Structure 1
Amino acid sequence: MNKKIGTTLLFVISFLVLIALQSYYLYNSYLLEKKDLNKKVQLIASEVLEQLEKYEKESSEDSLIMSLKKLSSNEKFMNQKIDERKQWYHFKNFYESQVDSILAKETAQSNFEIALKSEIYSVFDETEKKELLPRKSPLVLFKTKAPISAGFVFNEGKWNSNFSEKDTELKVDEHYHYTIRSRTSAELLNANYLIFKKILPLSLVSLSIILLLTYLFWKTSKNLKLQQLKVSQLYTSIDSIAHELNTPLTTLKFTLASTPANETKQLLERQIQRLEKVVSSIHSSSADSELLLKADIDDFVANIAKRFDQIKLETAIEFKDNQSLLKNDFEQILNNLVENSVKYKASEVKVHLQFGKEISIEITDNGIGIPEEAQPYIFDKYYRVSRPENLQINGLGLGLHIVKQIAEKYRGIVQVLSNAANGVTFKISLPNA
């Protein structure tokens, strides 16, 4: 269950990272397309400005400045200024009427919908040292009928205006010095539509990849669940068969007990013992027994050396005291580990037993070893490493499972390490209290 949760979590994290990368890539594509479109808009807008220059009049600037500042409280002079303001706005309206016309011609061959606006945003009186225009109230020189909501500035200007006014009749003699700042903004009104058309294929590909991965994960999860169900049913069947074998085995044992001794009886007894061993390993039941003694260790090690005389068995035993480990559990651990080493082509097996503050059982062999990628799973019930060598070796995949169960019974730990040359080392540490 934990492995399944871990795998699912890993997929979810990877999936979210993929979505984030795809989103980042699409967003960058959007920005690049927008930047490219803005460059084209700037070229068109610049061309429009060039054509508008022929409509400008030299007097327009002076009319503008004169309309901004009340230079005198003289009523006649004020009337003169009002006339000048009217002249300015007449010029402005004439000027604006040309913008949409020229812009329509420049964008006729494209799908661009462009809005333009030119404004003076600062008129600074250098003589009085003060700003004449309110900060949020620029003076619009011209604009298109379509308003700008989020445009970009592509042209800025700054110039000085120096002039004098002298009127003997009105008794006016003034000198003026202004610093004027202007800017021209543009906006592609249908930018999102044009960009969406451009990146739509890329978006569809990204979405297809995400949907495909989602489908594959769903399909894989479904198949894994089905396989797990089949494996679970297989394990249940094996356990049931092992359980059902107990009755005929018991009957056979009672029947043989009353049978005269002969070679056939000995053969049947050996086969019954073999079946009992298989059944007990499937049930992995550890019968209670007495505490392990030093003499029991010596006897069992001698028995193993006799059973597996085809290998070189080296033993090192350090026994001070045993307060916890039962004889039957010890024999199952040692028997399963040594038998595993022999089955998997070991010619040398080293057994190091230490009974002190804790109990340490270490088995090292020079067999074919266990691949590192398979090591986290070798203690699972019925698990066998998938490789050609294992297909030629008989086994149920229960030995190491039993060893792990016994270690957990004592709240101990089991470690498996690949040796530098070949083979593996199993280290079992149990509390001795």
Structure 2
Amino acid sequence: MNKGIGTTLLFLSCFLVLIALQSYYVYNSYLLEEKELNKQVKIIADDVVKQLEKYETDASEDSLILSLKKLSSNQLFMNQKLDERKQWFTFKNFYEKEVDSILDKKTASTNFKIALRSEIYSVYDENRKLELLSKKHPLILFKTKAPVSVGFVFSEGKWNSNFTERDTELKVDAHYHYIIRSRISVELINLSALVFKKILPLSLVSLAIIALLTYLFWRTTKNLKLQQSKLAQLYTSIDSISHELSTPIATLKFSLAGMPASDNKQLFERQIQRLEKVACAVKNPEVDSELIDEAAIKAYIDQTLKRFNGVGIDFDFAFKANTQLSKHDFEQLLNNLIENAVKYRANHIDVKLDFSSQINIQVADNGIGIPKDAQAYIFDKYYRVSRLENLQITGLGLGLHIVKQTVDKYLGSIDVSTNATNGVTFNINLPHA
């Protein structure tokens, strides 16, 4: 269950990273398309402005200067609404009428909807050190019918206007100096729609990838849960069979005890012991037993050497004290590790037993070994390594599980490592109570 949760969290983390990367990629594509479209719009706007500029005359500037003079000297004139003044540039009305027409011709072969505006946004009176224009009311030179709301400035200008006015009737003899700043703004009104149209295929592909991965993860998770359910049912069935075997085994043992000695009786005893061993391996019941001592260890070594006389087993044995490990659990540990090594084609086994400040048991063999990617799972109940060699070897996948349970019972530790040549080494450390 914990592994499943971990896998799900890992997938979700990677999935969120993928979504973030896809979003970043799509967003950057949006910005690139936006930049490219604005570049094209700027070229069109430049052409329109150049075409309009040919209508400008010297009289236009004279008209502007005259208006600036009035703006500077007449407070009432300053407060009038700027859009009501008809004196700005003599070509202003022409621009107002023609700018949309010119833009329509320039954008005929495109889907662009462009808004354009030219304005004077600052008139600074150098003599009085006074800004004459309000920021909210620039002087509009020309604009399209469609307003510019969030466009960008692609052209700015700045010039000085100096003139002297003498008027005997008004008794005026004054010199005027203005610093005038202008700008031309442009906006592609349907920019978002055009960009979205450009990146729509990319967005659809990204969404399809995300949807496919989500579906595959859902299917995989569903199949894994189904497999886990089937495995749980299988393990429950095996445990139930083992439990059901207990009664007939006990009955057979009781019946066999009353039979006279014979070859058949010995055969039955061996088969019953075999069944009992399998049933006990599945159930792994708690068994009360005395502590293992030095004499019992020596007896076990002699018995093991006779039992596996075709295998080279070297024991390195040192005993000082044992205050915790029972004889049954000691034999359970050694039997499973040695039987496992022999089963997986080991012909030489080194066993080191050290009962000192703590109990250390080391079993190293030269068998076919355990793949590194499977070593994290070998202590799971019923787990067997998936490889061709294992198909030819019988077993329930319980031996190392029992070893791990026994080590955990004593709050010890066990680890497995691959040998330099062949086989594996198991190291068990058990603390004294």
Give me the TM-score of the superposition, normalised by structure 1: 0.93
Question: Secondary structure of 1:248's partner?
Answer: helix
Contact 1:407 1:413 in 2 (8 A): yes
Tell me how far apart the structure 2 counterparts of residues 239 and 201 of structure 1 sit (CA, whole Å). 56
Tell me how far apart the structure 2 counterparts of residues 330 and 110 of structure 1 sit (CA, whole Å). 87
Quick one: which amino acid aligns to residue 286 of structure 2?
S
Matches within 5 A, 1:271-350: 271-350=271-350
Contact 1:123 1:181 in 2 (8 A): yes
Tell me how far apart the structure 2 counterparts of residues 406 and 62 of structure 1 sit (CA, whole Å). 105
Pairwise CA RMSD: 2.2
What is aligned with 2:132? 132
Contact 1:417 1:426 in 2 (8 A): yes
CA deviation digits over 1:238-294, x for unaligned, max 9? Answer: 111111212221222122212121222112111111111111001112312111212
Tell me how far apart the structure 2 counterparts of residues 421 and 130 of structure 1 sit (CA, whole Å). 93
Question: Secondary structure of 1:222's partner?
Answer: helix
Quick one: which amino acid aligns to residue 167 of structure 1?
D
Matches within 5 A, 1:145-294: 145-294=145-294
Contact 1:157 1:182 in 2 (8 A): yes
Q: Which sits farther off after the overlay, 137-146 or 170-179?
A: 170-179
Question: Secondary structure of 1:154's partner?
Answer: strand
Question: Secondary structure of 1:115's partner?
Answer: strand
Tell me how far apart the structure 2 counterparts of residues 294 and 69 of structure 1 sit (CA, whole Å). 119
CA deviation digits over 1:121-146, x for unaligned, max 9? Answer: 22233344443323443222221111
What is aligned with 2:53? 53
Contact 1:313 1:351 in 2 (8 A): yes
Tell me how far apart the structure 2 counterparts of residues 320 and 138 of structure 1 sit (CA, whole Å). 101
Contact 1:69 1:132 in 2 (8 A): no
Identity across the alignment (%): 67
Q: For residues 260 and 181 of structure 1, do their structure 2 counterparts lie closer, same or farther at Cα, with a shift above 3 Å needed?
A: same
Gaps of at least 5 residues in structure 2 are none
Quick one: which amino acid aligns to residue 245 of structure 1?
L
Quick one: which amino acid aligns to residue 395 of structure 2?
G
Quick one: which amino acid aligns to residue 178 of structure 1?
Y
Quick one: which amino acid aligns to residue 341 of structure 2?
S
Runs of 4+ in structure 1 deviating by more than 6 angstroms, as ranges, are none
Shift of 1:35: 0.8
Shift of 1:159: 1.9
Tell me how far apart the structure 1 counterparts of residues 208 and 189 of structure 2 sit (CA, whole Å). 30
Question: Secondary structure of 2:87's partner?
Answer: helix
Shift of 1:47: 1.0
Shift of 1:73: 5.8
* 1:386 matches 2:386: yes
Give me the TM-score of the superposition, normalised by structure 2: 0.93
Q: For residues 54 and 264 of structure 1, do their structure 2 counterparts lie closer, same or farther at Cα, with a shift above 3 Å needed?
A: same
Number of residue pairs aligned between Structure 1 and Structure 2: 428
Quick one: which amino acid aligns to residue 421 of structure 2?
A
Contact 1:286 1:329 in 2 (8 A): no
Tell me how far apart the structure 2 counterparts of residues 114 and 71 of structure 1 sit (CA, whole Å). 32
Tell me how far apart the structure 2 counterparts of residues 73 and 127 of structure 1 sit (CA, whole Å). 12
* 1:10 matches 2:16: no
Tell me how far apart the structure 1 counterparts of residues 126 and 158 of structure 2 sit (CA, whole Å). 14
Contact 2:154 2:184 in 1 (8 A): yes
Contact 1:125 1:177 in 2 (8 A): yes
Question: Secondary structure of 1:323's partner?
Answer: coil
Q: Which sits farther off after the overlay, 313-322 or 406-415?
A: 313-322
Question: Secondary structure of 2:227's partner?
Answer: helix
Tell me how far apart the structure 1 counterparts of residues 129 and 163 of structure 2 sit (CA, whole Å). 16
Tell me how far apart the structure 1 counterparts of residues 43 and 429 of structure 2 sit (CA, whole Å). 79
Quick one: which amino acid aligns to residue 163 of structure 2?
F
Shift of 1:70: 4.5
Tell me how far apart the structure 2 counterparts of residues 378 and 111 of structure 1 sit (CA, whole Å). 67
